[in-house]
Chain A
Amino acid sequence: MGIAKFVVRRLLLGVLTLFIVSIVVFALTQALGDPVRAILGREAQPESVLAKREELGLTRPVLTQYWNWLTGLVTGDPGTSFTNGVPVLDVLGDRIWNSLFLMAISAAVSIPISIAVGTFAAARRDKAFDSASSAGSLVLASMPEFVTGLLLIVLLATNVWQIFPAVVRIRPSEPPWVQPSALVLPVLTLTLGVIPYVSRVMRASMIEVLESDYIEMARLKGLPERTVVWRHALPNAIGPALQVIAINIAYLAGGVIVVENIFNYPGIGLALRDAVTDVNVPVVQFIAMLIAAIYVIVNLLADVGTILVTPRLRTGLR
Chain B
Amino acid sequence: MGNDRRYELWLPRAVSRRQLIFGAGAAVVAGGLAACGGGDDEASPTTGGAAPDTTGGSTATTGSSATTGSSPASTPAGTPGGTLRVGLVGSTNDIIDGQYIVAKADQARCVTGWDPVLNYDTDFNISYEHSLAEEVETKAADNYVIRFKEGLEFHNGKPVTGDDIIYSFRRRIDPELNLAPGLAELLGPDGMTAIDDRTIEFQLLKPAVTFVNSLAEYTTTIVPVDYARFDGDVSTQVGTGPFMLQSFTPGTESVHVKNPNYWGSGLPLLDEVQIIDFADAQAMVNALASGEIDAAMDIPFAQVSTVESDSNLRILESQAGNWLVITMAIDQAPFDDVRVRQAMRLIANRQEMVERVLAGHGRIANDMYGVLDPCYPQDIPQREQDIEQAMALLAEAGQENLTIELFAPDDTAGLPELIAVFADQAQAAGVTVDAQVLDGGTYWGDEYTKRTFATSFWSTRPYLIQVAAGSLENAIYPETHWPPPDSDFTEKYEQAIAETDDDARCEVIAEMQQEEYDDGGNLIPFFYNLVDGYAANVQGLEARPNLLNLDHYGRGWKSIWLES
Contact = CB atoms under 8 A, between A and B. Distances in A.
B279 A162 contact: no
Contact of B440 (A41, A43, A158): A41
B292 A48 contact: no
A41 B292 contact: no
B253 A171 contact: yes
Given A38-B440, A42-B17, A261 B253 contact: no
Nearest to A37: B441
Given A37-B441, A42-B477, A264-B280, A172 B17 contact: no
Interface in B511-550: none
Given A84-B93, A264-B284, A270-B251, A37 B444 contact: yes
8 closest A-B pairs by CB: A37-B441, A43-B4, A166-B286, A166-B290, A172-B249, A158-B289, A264-B283, A43-B2
B278 interface: yes
B287 interface: yes
Contact of A166 (B2, B283, B448): B283
Contacts of A273: 279-280
B286 A266 contact: no
B189 interface: no
Contacts, number: 111
A172 B92 contact: no
A48 B280 contact: no
Interface string A20-49: 000000000000011001111111111010
Contacts of A157: 286, 289-290
B439 interface: yes
A37 B95 CA distance: 20
Given A42-B448, A169-B253, A261-B283, 19 more contacts: A40-B2, A42-B17, A43-B4, A44-B448, A84-B250, A165-B292, A166-B292, A167-B278, A167-B290, A169-B276, A169-B292, A172-B252, A172-B253, A261-B279, A262-B282, A263-B283, A264-B279, A264-B287, A279-B441
Contacts of B280: 261-262, 264, 273
A64 interface: no
A42 B4 contact: yes
A44 B1 CA distance: 11
B93 to A, nearest CB: 5
B403 interface: no
B291 A162 contact: yes
Contact of B3 (A48, A169, A264): A48
Contact of A37 (B16, B286, B445): B445
A277 interface: yes
B18 interface: yes
Contacts of A41: 2, 16-17, 440, 444
Contact of B287 (A39, A164, A167): A167
Contacts of A43: 2-4, 6
A83 interface: yes
B44 interface: no
Contacts of A270: 251, 279
B441 A158 contact: no
Interface in A171-208: 171-172
A42 B441 contact: no
Interface in B265-299: 276, 278-280, 282-284, 286-287, 289-292
A130 interface: no
B287 A274 contact: no
Contacts of B62: none
A71 to B, nearest CB: 25
10 contacts: A33-B441, A46-B446, A83-B93, A157-B290, A162-B291, A167-B290, A169-B253, A271-B92, A273-B279, A279-B441
B93 A167 contact: no
A266 B252 CA distance: 7
A262 B281 CA distance: 10
A170 B287 CA distance: 14
B68 interface: no
B122 interface: no
Contacts of A145: none
A153 interface: yes
B278 A264 contact: yes
B279 A166 contact: no
Contacts of A266: 251-252
B247 interface: yes
